[in-house]
Amino acid sequence: MNMQSDLKRHDLLIDGKRLPPGTGEYSVDIDPATEQTIALVAQGSAADVDTAVLAARAALKVWNGMRAAERGRILHRLADLMRTHQDELAELESRDAGKPIAGVLRQDLPAAIDTLTYYAGWCDKITGQVVPVRPDALTYTVREPVGVVAAIVPWNFPLMIGMWKIAPALACGCTLIVKPAEITPLSALRVGELALEAGVPPGVLNIVTGKGRVVGDALVAHPGVDKVTFTGSPAVGRGILQGATSNFKRVTLELGGKSANVIFADANLDNAVRAAASGIFFNTGQVCSAGSRILAQREVYDEVVERLAARANAIKVGDPSLRETSMGPLVSAAQMKTVLDYIDIGRSEGASLVAGGARIGEQGYFVQPTVFANVEHEMRISQEEIFGPVASVIRFDDEADAVRIANGTLYSLAAGVWSADIGRVHRVARELRAGTVWINTYGYTDVRLPWGGSGDSGFGREHGDVALDNFTEPKTVWLALDQ
Contact 96, 29 (CB under 8 A): yes
Q: What is the largest CA-CA distance in the chain?
A: 81
Could you tell me if residue 25 is left (phi over 0), alpha (psi between -120 and 50 degrees) or otherwise beta? beta
At 459, give phi and psi (nearest 5°): -150, 160
Least separation in angstroms between residue 209's CB and ligand NAD is 9
Nearer to ligand NAD, 255 or 403 (CB): 255
Nearer to ligand NAD, 181 or 355 (CB): 181
The binder of ligand NAD chosen from 216, 291, 389, 416 (CB under 6 A): 216
Nearest-angstrom CA–CA distance, 312 and 391: 10
Nearest-angstrom CA–CA distance, 205 and 197: 12
Binding track over 364-403 against ligand NAD, x by CB under 6 A = ---------------------x-x----------------
State which of positions 157-196 bind ligand NAD (CB under 6 A). Answer: 161, 179, 181-182
Least separation in angstroms between residue 91's CB and ligand NAD is 21
Of 477, 22, 24, 467, the C-alpha closest to 252 is: 467
Amino acid at the residue 376: E
Nearer to ligand NAD, 126 or 181 (CB): 181
The binder of ligand NAD chosen from 41, 195, 198, 220 (CB under 6 A): 220
43 contributes a contact to ligand NAD by CB under 6 A: no
260 contributes a contact to ligand NAD by CB under 6 A: no
Nearer to ligand NAD, 217 or 303 (CB): 217
Distance of CA 333 to the CA centre of its chain: 20
Nearer to ligand NAD, 232 or 320 (CB): 232
Nearer to ligand NAD, 213 or 316 (CB): 213
255 contributes a contact to ligand NAD by CB under 6 A: yes
> H helices of 204-353, where?
217-221, 234-243, 269-281, 301-314, 333-349
Of 160, 165, 204, the C-alpha closest to 184 is: 160
Least separation in angstroms between residue 231's CB and ligand NAD is 5
Nearer to ligand NAD, 240 or 300 (CB): 240
Q: By CB neighbour count within 10 A (0-12 exposed, 13-18 middle, 19+ buried), where does 392 fall? A: buried
Contact 333, 365 (CB under 8 A): yes
Least separation in angstroms between residue 229's CB and ligand NAD is 11
Nearer to ligand NAD, 305 or 434 (CB): 434
Query: Which residue of the set 182, 254, 385, 399 is catalytic?
Result: 254
Nearest-angstrom CA–CA distance, 277 and 369: 9
State which of positions 227-246 bind ligand NAD (CB under 6 A). Answer: 231-233, 236, 239-240
Distance of CA 162 to the CA centre of its chain: 7
State which of positions 263-322 bind ligand NAD (CB under 6 A). Answer: 288
3-state secondary structure of 95: helix
The window from 75-83, 152-160, 294-302, 307-315 that contacts ligand NAD (CB under 6 A) reads 152-160
Q: By CB neighbour count within 10 A (0-12 exposed, 13-18 middle, 19+ buried), where does 201 fall? A: buried
Least separation in angstroms between residue 66's CB and ligand NAD is 30
Nearest-angstrom CA–CA distance, 372 and 251: 37
Contact 288, 392 (CB under 8 A): no
To the query of whether residue 378 is one of the catalytic residues in this protein, the response is no
Least separation in angstroms between residue 393's CB and ligand NAD is 21
Nearest-angstrom CA–CA distance, 244 and 224: 12
- Which residues are marked as active site? 254
Contacts with ligand NAD by CB under 6 A lie at 152-156, 161, 179, 181-182, 212-213, 216-217, 220, 231-233, 236, 239-240, 254-257, 288, 385, 387, 413
